[in-house]
Amino acid sequence: MTRRDALSRVSLILGGTIVGAELFLNGCGPSVPQVSATEFTAGTISFLDEVGEIIIPTSASSPGAKAAKIGEFMKTIVTECYEAKNQKIFFEGIGKLNEAAKAKSGGKTFLEMEPEAQKALLTEIDVEAKAYAKENVANPEAPKHYFALMKQLTLWGYFSSEVGATQALRYVEAPGPYKGCIPYTKGEKAWAL
């Protein structure tokens, strides 16, 4: 992100829900990460891959979040970039998500649920997370909802991944002279950054 991008990035100005990156741009003082990479077991990573794939699934035109190795991405960001307080929320969130799965499915873990049931559950939790964010809109210090973190990481990790940027979006390494005004037809993909 350059200064120009920062100046013109309205979502940030408006205190909106911009994904992922804003967590790190403000540089809240140093805090020692408490979660080490070893706590992300293979099981955790495949769990996160599944959650990510439901948020951003494979479609006819492009692979989904699993193909973008979203679980590995979350591991990197959570262990190395997150502040301790968000690491805690994220990790406790994995437990909470499984608790919610059990309550909903009569004792099954999230990974044991049927795909439709998984999607229905995450849809419900997403509504809950959005409502929570709305309640706290005036309080930027309020703890994040764990699912908001998972969803942010999924969108950020996916659209900045190679499959996301080059297949779900259009990535051009050297676009050539900037064209300020071209026609756009609905359905055409957005440019990747």
Residues 57-86 that bind another protein (CB under 8 A): 57, 59, 61-62, 64, 76-77, 80-83
- For residues 143 and 22, give the distance between their C-alpha atoms in angstroms, rounded to a whole number: 15
Query: Residue 170's closest CA among 151, 193, 148?
Result: 193
> Is 178 a binder of another protein (CB under 8 A)?
yes
Rounded to a whole number of angstroms, the minimum distance from the CB of residue 94 to another protein is 17
Sign (positive/negative) of CA torsion 137, 143, 146, 150?
positive
Residue range at the interface with another protein (CB under 8 A); choices 3-11, 90-98, 99-107, 138-146: 3-11
Cβ nearer to another protein, comparing 107 with 177: 177
- Binding another protein (rule: CB under 8 A), the pick from 16, 37, 103, 137 is 16
Query: Residue 71's closest CA among 88, 94, 92, 95?
Result: 94
- For residues 108 and 111, give the distance between their C-alpha atoms in angstroms, rounded to a whole number: 8
Inter-residue contact 84 to 31 (CB < 8 Å): yes
Inter-residue contact 153 to 22 (CB < 8 Å): no
- Binding another protein (rule: CB under 8 A), the pick from 3, 42, 43, 140 is 3
> Is 45 a binder of another protein (CB under 8 A)?
no
Residue ranges in 133-162 that form contacts with another protein under rule CB under 8 A: 151, 155-157, 159-162
- For residues 47 and 81, give the distance between their C-alpha atoms in angstroms, rounded to a whole number: 20
Rounded to a whole number of angstroms, the minimum distance from the CB of residue 14 to another protein is 5
Cβ nearer to another protein, comparing 60 with 107: 60
> Is 126 a binder of another protein (CB under 8 A)?
yes
